[in-house]
Structure 1
């Protein structure tokens, strides 16, 4: 049985009232990854409903050493929604007033730009809007998060490192589009380490196998124990005797992911450190059974 730890985000979010517009003749989306525009007038912005919507979108990301908002959000009034602003990658348009005919939250893709994620919120008053936002918090965050991942996945489909993709396929029997700027750091029969190094950052991607032991194989304790054993043996630090491990003093998020094709997927998110040296940062580990038979 093979089980792989991926730094690969594959999440299926089910949303309702989602419409996709044809993308032909539309511009590419504007703005950097994570940038969002919320279109609502000042009167709505100051209500509890407006504040709630803002709080949802700027909530801290999980598993980072310092707080960083989930999205980089700007709020503009309707009069400022220019043709250029309409091409932004993530947009929420809020309409509140008695003239609203049908209340609800509606999800759209590719309305004004390719791969754009647009949400429209219609409510007759602030109280109704707040109820809608409260009831749909997970859908709102999931819709935009999934859109960001799909854009990244689309980019890597055309700009990937073919040599590393082939190496992963030959070693583990899985297909992954490895970012073009990644290079091979270490290769063994059950372990591949790739990374992207700059003067200011280091981004690593490790794929490895661990034993499937039946019941308990997907427990948080077992996965972390196996991760630490693997990192200690395979990923040395910069100084003699140092090695990568998990920072257990920081909360580690554990989540079971259900997808249409795989019900045996677990994500761990937390911080790593180098034992014996002053290095560390956030990590995401995906654990997936690669066979339909559990032995």
Structure 2
């Protein structure tokens, strides 16, 4: 009887462990926008490492200082210890008889994303890495977006208190470090002051508004004109009569296709400045096509953080924008 009871207890424990990953996997570690590459030192110092550093080291569009899309570090397979296996973003590059590209989640820790790349020799690995470059970057960025949004959920604002969002029928996951600047019912402006370091006089900002969907074929070419009109109306400088936010005239923004809440959208990255003043910084704009309601929903993030790197601030704004849900 005692033996049966022990076996029953052991079975319950095992079922509990298998049924809930929290009992099995430790919490992952690692900075946002950072990937650890597991590969031989000879690979890292050769063509394979050069290809990885070049692809991950591509500069993020729209930033005033050069900053890579993703930061990368390397560890040899024999150094891939238990502590290293807790990294949140990992890419494992190996030689093997068969070509393989795959993604697994929560293997050694959670949340965790591991990309596996395998080919028979150096040339084949470089070729495969080139072919999958954009997909690999998108996988890790999407992983970090989801991770960041889950962090924000822990201290999220009650967005139902903003009349503009209620009128537009949209919601976002926004941390409570953001404070209200303006909420007209048609236009929302939230701001987070940066509290530490040399950037403590700066801020991160979120704008939300909508415009009628008149001609879908002209959305992309009108994005700058629309944001400049909003800047003139709603984002004044220190002298409201002569100063307001505009798109920086010396830098042409880049626009890409995107999807927000399952809807076609345009992602525009560029630089803003204040007309007749010296304030400037990067912006990230999403123009989301809401055909059901015959409108464009625009969510924009912009940051003012003089003299410091801004990738992390823009990424935070991206995570907030991509959390948008349309009712």
**TM-score of the aligned structures, taking structure 1 as reference length:** 0.85
Q: Work out whether residues 165 and 176 of structure 1, in 8 Å CA contact, stay in contact via their aligned partners in 2.
A: no
The change in CA–CA distance for 1:232 and 1:161 in structure 2 (over 3 A counts) is same
Alignment of 1:134-213 (within 5 A): 134-162=130-158, 164-167=159-162, 168-198=164-194, 199-213=200-214
Q: Compared with structure 1, are the counterparts of its residues 191 and 68 closer, same or farther at alpha carbon in structure 2 (3 Å cutoff)?
A: same
Asked whether the equivalents of residues 37 and 72 of structure 2 are also in contact (C-alpha less than 8 Å), the reply is yes
Counterpart contact for 1:272–1:280, Cα < 8 Å: yes
2:238 corresponds in structure 1 to 238
SS of the equivalent of 1:24 reads: helix
Please list every run of at least 4 consecutive aligned residues from structure 1 whose deviation after the TM superposition is greater than 6 angstroms: none
Provide the TM-score with structure 2 as the length reference.
0.77
Match of 1:24 in 2: 22
Unaligned runs of 5+ in 2: 1-18, 195-199, 296-327
User: Does 140-149 or 247-256 show the bigger shift?
Assistant: 247-256
Indicate if the aligned counterparts of 2:269 and 2:283 stay in contact, CA closer than 8 A: yes
Structure 1 residue ranges without an equivalent (≥5): 1-20
1:219 matched to 2:220: yes
2:113 maps to 1:121: no
Does the aligned pair in 1 maintain the 2:268–2:286 contact within 8 Å?
yes
Between Structure 1 and Structure 2, the one with more helix by share is 2
1:15-37 C-alpha deviation (Å, 9 max, x unpaired):
xxxxxx97433122211211221
Cα RMSD of the aligned pairs, angstroms, is 2.0
> What corresponds to 1:50 in structure 2?
49
1:255-280: CA deviation from partner (whole Å, max 9, x where unpaired):
122468313x1111100111121111
Give the paired residue count: 269
8 Å Cα contact 2:153-2:175 kept in structure 1: no
